[in-house]
Structure 1
Amino acid sequence: MVFQKMNGTGGANTDGEQLNHLHFADDVVLIANNARDINEMLQEVNAKGGEVGLKINAEKSKIMQTAGLPKAYILIGGVILEEVDSYVYLGKELNMRHDPQPEISRRRAAGWRKFYSIIDFLKRTARSYRSHLFNTTVLKAVTYGGETWSLTKGEGQKLAVTETAMERRILGVSLCDHIENKTLCQMSGVADVVGIKPENKIRWTGHVARLADNRWTSRIAEWYPRIENDHSAGLREDGVRTWWRWQVRTGGK
């Protein structure tokens, strides 16, 4: 209701339209090309929200901007919002560097927390139940948001190392036993985290392709953003997106 009353200030040109905000429940992202537009949008959101009893929480609100720009002084209710290099939105850490490493570390840590919460049960239950429980809890925590990842082989290997360490703990096997990782996977019965990633991408791509309501999810997935390339004439497609598309087409192979 609040955003329906806004006048459409700010935003980034995306697929021919201005994308100026994303929101899920009360988790909101405002998008603009400069600090002035963001300030105007914040004041407008705060004013429109106040009409229906809503107020922006200045302590929880953060500012992120492209690296190299001078510090942005964005105020709401007389409070200067903190500028950060990264931020966790809807459970996923975002940054302006397109660096997946922080999120990979968070996913691995989330997997370990879930793993230790059920490790006793995993050790004493039958193989079929154990694999189902592991796949639907631990692996879900590790691969959360993985449909949008564009990981290199080395980055994917970090997830595989984490899973192998968990399998050793479940089975009571040490490195001194010299059991190959492939054999460990067969013994534990759990799904291969590296194999799950492309499957999730393909499943999510199919879901988005079937959307017919013009939502931003499908529009951004089909959009070809162009960025300047100083080394050649014309424009080129963003490398991260190119890599993601290749992984979907080939199944990550």
Structure 2
Amino acid sequence: MVEVNSRVSAALSKWRSLTGVLCDKKIPERFNSKIYRAVIRPVAMYGAECWPATKEVETRLSVMETKMLRWMAGVTRLDRIRNDAIRVKFGVAPIAERMSEARLRW
């Protein structure tokens, strides 16, 4: 779990450095999605092939991803928009699926 926590904190620091671009309303969502998939997700998933496949690990990464996507969309829980709708809006697959694919590839 220590490795997962360090990956999450690394992804959050990378997220903070790019927040000015990702949260700018003038930049298209398609571009934000590409930045997220090309920069932030690989930082979070580095070494995921070797992590234990526990529900706790998947939940931790899923929460991180959902918070980032909601922040990029400018949506809060009070707006009552489902997480699946936000994922479809950005064209991002759930991070748990990506973890299982990475494990199968390894």
**TM-score with structure 2 length normalisation?**
0.87
- Name whichever structure is richer in helix by fraction: 2
Distance 1:157 1:140, change over 3 A: same
In the alignment, structure 1 residue 161 sits paired with structure 2 residue 63: yes
CA distance in 1, matches of 2:36, 2:78: 25
Task: Extract structure 1 runs of 4+ deviating beyond 4 A.
Answer: none
3-state SS, counterpart of residue 179 of structure 1: coil
Identity of aligned residues (%): 29
CA deviation profile, 1:102-144 (whole Å, cap 9, x unmatched): 1111111111111111122122322222211101111111111
Aligned to 1:111: 11
Larger radius of gyration: 1
Note the C-alpha offset of 1:202.
2.2
Structure 2 letter corresponding to 1:179? I
* Aligned ranges 1:178-197 → 2 under 5 Å: 178-197=80-99
- Name whichever structure is richer in strand by fraction: 1
RMSD over aligned Cα atoms: 1.4
Aligned to 1:122: 22
In the alignment, structure 1 residue 201 sits paired with structure 2 residue 99: no
Unaligned runs of 5+ in 2: none
CA distance in 2, matches of 1:145, 1:202: 13
Note the C-alpha offset of 1:182.
0.8
CA distance in 2, matches of 1:192, 1:119: 21
Given that 2:30 and 2:90 are in contact with CA atoms closer than 8 Å, whether structure 1 keeps it comes out as: no
CA distance in 2, matches of 1:147, 1:116: 25
Given that 2:65 and 2:95 are in contact with CA atoms closer than 8 Å, whether structure 1 keeps it comes out as: yes
In the alignment, structure 1 residue 171 sits paired with structure 2 residue 73: yes
Unaligned runs of 5+ in 1: 1-100, 205-253
**TM-score with structure 1 length normalisation?**
0.39
Note the C-alpha offset of 1:166.
0.6
Number of equivalent positions:
104
Given that 1:131 and 1:191 are in contact with CA atoms closer than 8 Å, whether structure 2 keeps it comes out as: no
Q: Which has the higher contact order (CA 8 A, sep 6+)?
A: 2
